[in-house]
Amino acid sequence: MNNVIEKIGVFTSGGDAPGMNAAIRAVVRTAIYYHKQVEGILMGYEGMIDAQFIPMHARSVSNIIHRGGTILKTARSENFKTKAGRQLAYDNLRKQGIDALVAIGGDGTFTGAEIFYGEFGIPMVGIPGTIDNDLYGTDFTLGYDTAINTAIEAIDKIRDTAASHSRLFFVEVMGRDSGCIALASGIGGGAEYVLMPERSTSINDLIQVLEEGAENKKSSSIVIVAEGEHGGGAYKIAEKVKARFDHYDTKVVVLGHIQRGGSPTAADRLLGSRLGVAAVESLLQGESRKMVGLVNNKVAFTPFADATTKDFILDKELIRISELLAI
Ligand code: F6P
């Protein structure tokens, strides 16, 4: 174990995600297990710049494993994008005696981490936390499982009313650059069609599938629209379809930020716990500038540079399954 590291700072950054608290708890308790001190940094990089530090103990993370959001709060920091902001952040870390960091967040967080490491060389390991599941180097990100369960629960409820009224529903789910939530909730929620940023949106194709459904005596239909698909969002798509397809009355539901909240599922609690332990142990073993993830259910490390620049590839088999089962 690395005796040079005496105090580890932990922070959450970017969009919050259920399971972040489980990861914070694991980081704090693992550091204490190895007789290291831990400091929580509030509001992500912004709190580093404003010197918002709180000492963490084993009891500081009691009763949080089941809570959504992040007890350390989070922010998307514009100041950290400037050299002056990063210098201030580094000076504050030194004053606080923090000599290593665990960053919990998404690609923006790790892009910042890579730049920060390049400038100041402070050891850093990242834990992927974003409901979007769009990071290269891990099969799953923290919060994704909870988010798709939330989306599917909502779709189930929509299905009840859609079937009762013989309606066509467009359900918009989150995913600015990724169709992961859309595809998984489309399959799990039994949707007729999934629109996502990874492929171009074809209204003709969508209408053809809906027509076939109507011919096959479907009483109602559900279309999942990822927030970042290229057709302009659920309301615009619904308008375009309505103009040419009138078998059903049409409704639009945007699930929005409810997908980001809520108590984390068992899978997200386990993931946060596993990655939190691995992050601290790897830092103490001299690992740095890497994201820790799970690949084939085993802990795996990916350089920040790869995690942020290589594309997460959507599973083509899942796309095939979603289409095959929609008849
Ligand atoms: O956390 C990822 C994400 O939920 C994206 O899917 C979404 O586009 C974005 O965050 C929304 O962020 P904000 O809450 O800052 O509007």
Can you give the residue ranges of every domain in the chain?
7-143+264-309, 144-261
At residue 201 the predicted structure's pLDDT band, cuts being 50, 70 and 90, is confident
The Cα–Cα gap between 262 and 123 comes to 32
Please measure the distance between the N-terminal and C-terminal CA atoms of the chain and give it in whole angstroms: 57
DSSP line for 197-249 = TTS---HHHHHHHHHHHHHTT-S-EEEEEETT-TTS-HHHHHHHHHHH--SSE
- Band (pLDDT 50/70/90 cuts) for residue 327 is confident
For residue 130, give the ligand 1 atom closest to its CA: 1
Is residue 132 annotated as part of the catalytic site, yes or no? yes
Q: How far is the CA of 36 from the centre of ligand 1 (A)?
A: 34
Substitution candidate for ligand 1 out of 20, 109, 176 with most atoms within 8 A of CB = 176
| Stated pTM of the model | 0.96
Residues 236-260: what's their mean pLDDT? 96
Atom number of ligand 1 nearest to Cα 16: 1
The residue-averaged pLDDT of 15-39 equals 98
Question: CATH classification of 7-143+264-309, choosing from 2.60.40.10, 3.40.50.450, 3.90.550.10, 3.40.50.920?
Answer: 3.40.50.450
**What CATH number labels 144-261?**
3.40.50.460
- Looking at ligand 1, which atom is closest to the CA of residue 259? 4
Contact 253, 171 (CB under 8 A): yes
**CATH topology identical between 7-143+264-309 and 144-261:** yes
| Class of residue 192 by CB neighbours under 10 A (exposed 0-12, middle 13-18, buried 19+) | buried
Of these residues, 16, 132, 145, 268, which one is catalytic?
A: 132
Give the pLDDT confidence of 110-153 residue by residue, as tens digits. Answer: 999 999 999 999 999 999 999 999 999 999 999 999 999 999 99
CA of 242 to the centre of ligand 1 (A): 28
How do 7-12 and 37-41 pair as beta strands?
A: parallel
Written as six digits, the tokens of 232 are 């302009």
Give, in degrees to the nearest 5, the angle at Cα 137 between 133 and 142. 35
Q: State the distance from the centre of ligand 1 to the C-alpha of 15, rounded, in angstroms.
A: 6
Q: Measured between alpha carbons, how far is 46 from 123 in angstroms, rounded to an integer?
A: 19
Residues in the chain: 327
User: Ligand 1: which atom is nearest the Cα of residue 228?
Assistant: 8
In testing the pocket of ligand 1, which one of 185, 227, 254, 259 has its CB within 8 Å of the most ligand atoms? 227
